[in-house]
Amino acid sequence: MNTATSHSPMAFETRPGFFGRAEAWLDERGKGAWIAAMVLGFIFVWPVGLALLAYMIWSKRMFNSSCTAMTRSRTRHMSKTSGNSAFDAYKVETLRRLEEEQDKFEAFLERLREAKDKAEFDQFMNERANRNDQDDTDPSNAAA
pLDDT of residue 63: 64
Mean pLDDT over all residues of the chain? 79
Q: What is the dihedral of CA 16, 19, 23, 24, to 10 degrees?
A: 20
State pTM to two decimals.
Answer: 0.38
3 state DSSP class of 89: helix
pLDDT of residue 10: 46
pLDDT digits (tens, 9 = 90+) for 63-110: 665 545 555 556 656 667 888 899 999 999 999 999 999 999 999 999
CB atoms within 10 A of CB 91: 15
As a whole number of angstroms, the distance between CA 12 and CA 15 comes to 6
Nearest to residue 22, comparing CAs of 4, 8, 40?
40
pLDDT digits (tens, 9 = 90+) for 125-139: 999 999 888 877 766
